[in-house]
Amino acid sequence: MAAILPWHLVVMSGIFVIFTASHGENSINSEITSLTGCKGDRLTVYKVIFKTFWSREKFPKHYPDWRPLAQWSKLIGRSHNKSYTLWRLGSLASEGVKIFTETGKTDVLDAEAQGNGGVYDEFMAAPISIGVGQTQAEFFVDGNHSKVSLMCHLHPSPDWFVGIDSFDLCVQGKWLDAVTLEVDPMDAGTDEGYTFTAPNWKSEPQEKIYRLTAQYPNNSANSFYYPRRHKLPYIATFTLLKEKEYELSEIFYHEDTAKLSPQKYEYVEEETNLVHRGKIEPPPKFALRPNVHNKPHYKSKYPINDPKKNHQNSPIPATFNSPQKNTTKTTTTQHRRPKLRRGPRNCRVTEWSEWSECSRTCGIGQMRRTRIVVKHARRGGRPCPNLVIQKWCGSAKCVGVPTRYFE
């Protein structure tokens, strides 16, 4: 069993990150970026454990302990590639993020279809009805969609939330075994309220997303303003644990395997009338030899023409009983017969079809696309490539269905 390295603490954009990794398998650089991608044919299951620490002891100012109590909305998450952004520090919040951070409703965000805009898996975890609690969910990633983004709304609050933006679980070609991220509250920049229970006051114009600190915004009315503190204690943590890995390989279907049977031949010796029969086995890579023709009953003294033989010095078969002036022509025709031996022909296939629907609406399924052989390889040409490929699909967002594949 591999030894466990000491935890590593990294600070980026106000997020405190604690890593644990198996010795010799994972290493973390200071920028938390993947130098090489993880394998695209591997589906990896992760669990996110969201713990909250919004208590009166840690955050006494304006603590909401009466109608409504301090609590948390449902946790929403996306696994995705680099083309997708759920939210970003220093950027304007989308309409879906605006509605979620102000009300906790996810209608607009949930309208994003899985697989569009770079999203691989959409998932959520149950709300936390008190300030200090825990919830969790599972989700899928693969080598092409190795990032995860998360958001959870503080309630009550004007437009405050905690979250992770595009955290890459693949580091130097390896999946992280475990990582814990300590997060601070964020302001979505869509509401001017300073306190937990402030009335709705739309920001005009909308501000960019920013982090709430003990000194910023520098306003005594701010519920998170603690001028005597150097920094706020973390209000929540996200722990990401690798649960399981699945492997999916491309499926190769070579139809030439069934169609290229051994080639039969037959010829008759003129002097003895002996009949010779046999088979010529095709060479590797499902290709016919260049000088083998599919003519099973071609009768000649030479079953396979050889351009190196001097046919002008060979006896003319008795079947060519014609005047002398035609004998030369016939012999010439016999000599030119190697022209029938065409060069190799490579296999030709159609373009890929569109991806099929996922085989399962809940859990791990497969999507496939196919292509068809237009012309098969002949005479040593390049064999046909794979005709069917498959990839993982599905979601861990299953209602009322036990997730036995995590066991």
The pLDDT tens digits of the residues spanning 127-136 come to 999 999 999 9
Within-domain flag for 49: yes
Mean pLDDT across the stretch 293-318? 45
Name the residue range of residue 194's domain: 42-247
The H-or-E segment that residue 256 falls in is: helix 256-259
Q: What is the pTM of this model?
A: 0.61
| pLDDT tens for each residue of 217-242 | 998 999 999 999 999 999 999 999 99
Alpha-carbon distance 353 to 371, whole Å? Answer: 6
Please tell me the total number of residues recorded for the chain in this structure: 407
pLDDT band at 336 (very low <50, low <70, confident <90, very high): low
Within-domain flag for 314: no
The H-or-E segment that residue 395 falls in is: strand 388-395
Residue 71's Cβ-side half-sphere holds a number of Cα atoms within 13 Å equal to 13
Same domain, 77 and 215: yes
Backbone angles phi, psi at 83, to 5 degrees: -80, -10
Same domain, 193 and 54: yes
Q: What is the pLDDT of residue 395?
A: 67
Listed in sequence order, the residues at least 6 apart from 99 whose beta carbon sits closer than 8 Å to its beta carbon are: 105, 107, 108, 109
| pLDDT tens for each residue of 268-290 | 444 455 555 555 444 444 333 34
Within-domain flag for 108: yes
In the block, tokens 């399981």 appear at 244
Query: What's the number of domains the chain is made of?
Result: 2
Same domain, 239 and 355: no
Q: What is the pLDDT of residue 26?
A: 31
Within-domain flag for 19: no
